[in-house]
Amino acid sequence: MTELRYNPLLGDWTMVAGNRQHRPNMPKDICPFCPGSGKVPDHYVVHTYDNDFPVLMPDPPEPDPVGSVLYPTRPAKGKCEVILYSPEHTTTLPQLSVEHIEQLINLWTDRFVQLSQDLNHKYILIFENRGEECGVTMPHPHGQIYAYPHVPLKVRVELENCQHHYETSGRCLICDINQEEQRFQQRMIHENEHFFAYIPFFTDYPYGLFIASKSHKTSLSAFSAEERRSLAEMLKDMTGAMDTLFDRLFPYMMVLHQKPVNGEDVEAFYHFHIEFYTPLRGPNQIKYYASSEMGAWAPCNPHAVEETAEHLRQAYRRYQSSNREWKDR
């Protein structure tokens, strides 16, 4: 059973993927993403791998005959890909060189452009789940790409608010958020030539970092080579700071928010940014999404981000200092 089921309460689609319950546990002595497995090239830097157990597929089966007028179903048409960050089994994002991360960003960009050419695709989500706290069972460094046949609800709400702000003020909402965080400074973690990194005023996670482009651009495909390198530097710096924060692998869900594809023009009011959903609120303390958050979408942050931003800024300084010491050896 693989299909999309319509939720009339939310005006959104639920992906049903019965095939994923048959995913095997990863063997302890072999990784399919490592060279020599027969599943990937023997030599690669970064690599695209079609998901073996996709929730969306180019030629999906017809839905089971369980729907109705109230409950429409649709074939789960789309694409699910795995993006391998490195052939090294335990090397995570902040341990890669800036040049290596540049190649990863170039691959993300190429896949975004290629998947956009399929008119069935309406939104392309590039993301990474990292750490056991985020349900990761495959430790080999990787992310994923989902090409959806619709714009998912959270992105749709974000787009609607960005459009409303533009129509009422004539300005881009995320440009204004960037300016407000730059003015206030206490939530700003770092900035480089082309990107800001801050924990925004409104985030529901104690360390819910945003990385936003300084220029008003809507997708990876709009960035110059210099901007992509700047993004690579920022990703390395911020994920390195996260690992330094509690001196441990820092779990996160990283999501790239870009423009929809094959739909209305959003260039005037939408703006590229990356959101991190970070379940740790302490070295071994989890910030759970409980009944209020899940049942009412009424988020609660257990910490003021003006305090946690200072913690992450200090971690970034320690990370930078340790990097300089290592280079001086």
70-86 pLDDT, tens digit each: 999 999 999 999 999 99
Cβ atoms of residues 191 and 197 within 8 Å: yes
Q: Which domains does the chain have, with CATH numbers?
A: 2-328 (3.30.428.10)
List pLDDT tens digits, range 152-203. Answer: 999 999 999 999 999 999 999 999 999 999 999 999 999 999 999 999 999 9
Q: Checking DSSP bridges between strand 2-7 and strand 12-17, what pairing results, if any?
A: antiparallel
φ, ψ of residue 27 in degrees (nearest 5): -60, 150
Residue entry with tokens 């599943």: 39
Report the percent of the chain where pLDDT is more than 70.
Answer: 95
Residue entry with tokens 């975004």: 112
Query: How far apart, in whole angstroms, are the C-alpha atoms of residue 62 and residue 74?
Result: 8
List pLDDT tens digits, range 5-36. Answer: 999 999 999 999 876 555 555 666 789 999 99
What is the pLDDT, as a whole number, of residue 18?
A: 77
- Is 90 exceeded by the pLDDT of residue 216? yes
What is the pLDDT, as a whole number, of residue 22?
A: 53
Chain centroid to Cα 103, Å, comes to 17
Beta bridge partners of 196: 191, 212
Mean pLDDT rounded to a whole number for the chain: 94
What is the pLDDT, as a whole number, of residue 152?
A: 98
Report the percent of the chain where pLDDT is more than 90.
Answer: 88
- Is 70 exceeded by the pLDDT of residue 60? yes
329: confidence class by pLDDT, cuts 50, 70, 90: very low
List pLDDT tens digits, range 247-294. Answer: 999 999 999 999 999 999 999 999 999 999 999 999 999 998 899 999
List pLDDT tens digits, range 98-145. Answer: 999 999 999 999 999 999 999 999 999 999 999 988 888 888 999 999
Which residues are the active-site residues?
Answer: 142
Q: What is the mean pLDDT of residues 24-50?
A: 87
Number of other CB atoms surrounding residue 317 within 10 Å: 13
| Burial of 20 from C-beta contacts in 10 A (0-12 / 13-18 / 19+) | middle
297: left (phi over 0), alpha (psi -120 to 50) or beta: left
What is the pLDDT, as a whole number, of residue 138?
A: 85
What is the pLDDT, as a whole number, of residue 300?
A: 95
Give the type of residue at 236: K
Per this entry, what is the length of the chain? Answer: 329
325: confidence class by pLDDT, cuts 50, 70, 90: low
Query: What torsion do the CA atoms of 112, 38, 32, 110 make, to the nearest 10 degrees?
Result: -10
What global pTM score does this model have?
0.95
- Is 80 exceeded by the pLDDT of residue 219? yes
In the numeric block, which tokens belong to residue 64? 């089971």
What is the pLDDT, as a whole number, of residue 228?
A: 98
What is the pLDDT, as a whole number, of residue 108?
A: 98
